[in-house]
Structure 1
Amino acid sequence: MYWVRGLWVAAVAAGSVGGLSGAAYTLLQSQSRQARSVIGVPRDLPFNADGVYLPDGSGPVVAAGGLTFGVFGDSSAAGLGAEAPDWLPGVQLARGLAEESGRPVRLTTYAISGSRSSDLAGQVDRALVDPPRVALVMVGGNDVTARRGVAVCAELLAEQVRRLVAAGTAVVVGTCPDLGSVRPIPQPLRSLAARWSLALGRAQARALVGSGASVVPLTLLSRHFATRPEELFSTDRFHPNGAGYALAAAVILAPLCSAAGVCDSAVTPD
């Protein structure tokens, strides 16, 4: 993955200030190559199953009207790693919204694999032609390759969230997940990934205060992915599989329903 090399670059940049030894430099470079060789580069695009989902669980169908739902962000929002269209996070959430609201839900996926926070502007530009009623945003894992500080990346996210909210869209943001659960990244590079991703998630939450968006800390899922990797990761051992996306949908659905005005409860994984 491109962000793995970026993580190594960030570590080297930090070490140039803090005194990274030649041995440490070589170790991080070697671990970056090792992680990239194990994870590989995605050869397939995520499934796309945009369309209208009905309260009886059917869909996608061709139909007019309904609650409009947009998904924004990177490969985790697009659902890379899901084994079938039904397991995409957007599809799972669209079906949940339809069931809870008793109304058809029209899903539109704006998320693009490889996106960084700086790429959200283009996705939001497309959406604002006809703003969705409710939106989910998940981004952050690729931001390390931009070599920008976490505060800058978080503000880029918040800026686009505010644009959606100003257009009348209710927004839920899933913060950057804990990349320390990705086992193909060897130590100590994995610890750096964990520290950076957790710092970004916290910065995202701070930047979104007062934006009108609801924030779901995806660190709620960290222990599940760390202790059940065979069950929750796809074959690339980096992206979630359908079960992993179902776990994420379980913590996002209630805040999403609440933002859409169709329910008030909240859930957390066991």
Structure 2
Amino acid sequence: MNPFLLPVIAAQGLYVRYSTEVLPPAGGPTTGTSEASGTEGSEAGGEPMRIAVLGESTAAGCGVDSHDDGFAGCFARALSERSGRPVEWSVWGRHGATLRRIRYRLLPEVSSGLRVAALLAGVNDVLTRRSPQDWGQDLEAVVGELAERAEQVVVTGVPPFGEFPSLPGTLRRYLAARAAELDEVSQRVCAGVAGVTWISSTDVLPMGPEFFARDRFHPSAYGYGEWARIVAGKVAM
């Protein structure tokens, strides 16, 4: 990064911080059940599949009114459609949470006996300039514990800052470069843990205006639905 651009990045960061609307987390229950439709799976009904979603503001459902329209609810419906089974979902999310906070504050609350656990993190670690080394240490600990509680763990890549319409160009490129550094570490960490799958955020590209909520930073109900559908498609049935 050109050091002469750092004042520009700092100024753009302050502008975005004070001009972007702060959307609250999704309301309503943080647990639910998605009934099987049987449209894709060969096994209709049966024992419910238990899943958990853990992470930052996207796990908390910022941008939608309820978790039914957030990642957790959409992920459960997509898995139910694929498997033909009902899916019981739980979500542990916190607006502004870094991976360190997720590790020590949220992870201990996640139950065991899960079929799938999804980790949504990275935005706040990029924004707070956490080092790739610190990120890797926390990620290794988090996915290691999740792998003991779930048959399969999916880790989503850092959301693509280059697509965020709320970010000015120079800041957007700077944050995208930092996110790429964390994603490189994530790929390496996840590849070393059995049952853990890393999913690149580029799989949800391109993102049109309808993908974003009114803050132009978090996903809309449509955006969560598209993202969750793609992630669910990577889960082994």
User: Which TM-score bucket, shorter chain as reference?
Assistant: 0.7 to 0.9
- Cα separation, partners in 2 of 1:137 and 1:168, compared to 1, 3 Å: closer
| Residue 142 (structure 2) pairs with residue 163 (structure 1) | no
Partners of 2:170 and 2:78 in 1: how far apart?
A: 40
Secondary structure of 1:81's match?
coil
Shift of 1:243: 1.2
Contact kept in structure 1, 2:127 and 2:175, CA below 8 Å:
no
What TM-score, normalized by structure 1, do the two folds share? 0.76
Whose strand proportion is higher, 1 or 2? Answer: 2
One-letter code of the match for 2:48?
G
- Cα separation, partners in 2 of 1:25 and 1:192, compared to 1, 3 Å: closer
Same amino acid, percent of matched pairs: 26
Matched with 2:25 is 45
Shift of 1:91: 0.6
Matched with 1:237 is 216
Deviations 1:46-88 (A, max 9, x none): 234421221149xxxxxxx622110011111222112554321
One-letter code of the match for 1:118?
R
Instruction: List runs of 5+ in structure 2 lacking aligned partners.
Output: 39-46
Choose which of 149, 155, 158 in structure 2 pairs with 1:176: 158
Secondary structure of 1:188's match?
helix
Choose which of 98, 104, 110 in structure 2 pairs with 1:127: 110
One-letter code of the match for 1:36?
R
Deviations 1:82-104 (A, max 9, x none): 25543211111112222332322
Partners of 2:202 and 2:149 in 1: how far apart?
A: 29
What TM-score, normalized by structure 2, do the two folds share? 0.85
One-letter code of the match for 1:32?
G
One-letter code of the match for 1:214?
T
Deviations 1:18-65 (A, max 9, x none): xx45xx4543332122212332333x22234421221149xxxxxxx6
Instruction: List runs of 5+ in structure 1 lacking aligned partners.
Output: 1-13, 58-64, 263-270
Q: Which moved more, 1:148-157 or 1:208-217?
A: 148-157
Partners of 1:182 and 1:52 in 2: how far apart?
A: 31
Considering only CA atoms, is the larger Rg found in Structure 1 or Structure 2? 1
1:43-122 equivalences in 2 (<5 Å): 44-49=24-29, 50-56=31-37, 66-121=48-103, 122=105
- Cα separation, partners in 2 of 1:218 and 1:183, compared to 1, 3 Å: same
- Cα separation, partners in 2 of 1:165 and 1:152, compared to 1, 3 Å: same
- Cα separation, partners in 2 of 1:162 and 1:178, compared to 1, 3 Å: same
Secondary structure of 1:171's match?
strand
Moved over 4 A (4+): none
Q: Which moved more, 1:179-188 or 1:206-215?
A: 179-188
Q: How many residues matched?
A: 226
Matched with 1:32 is 13
Matched with 1:252 is 231
- Cα separation, partners in 2 of 1:48 and 1:210, compared to 1, 3 Å: farther
Contact kept in structure 2, 1:47 and 1:85, CA below 8 Å:
yes
Partners of 1:221 and 1:251 in 2: how far apart?
A: 7
Contact kept in structure 2, 1:53 and 1:94, CA below 8 Å:
yes
One-letter code of the match for 1:219?
T
Partners of 2:106 and 2:131 in 1: how far apart?
A: 22
Matched with 1:147 is 129
CA RMSD, 1 decimal: 2.2
Whose helix proportion is higher, 1 or 2? Answer: 1
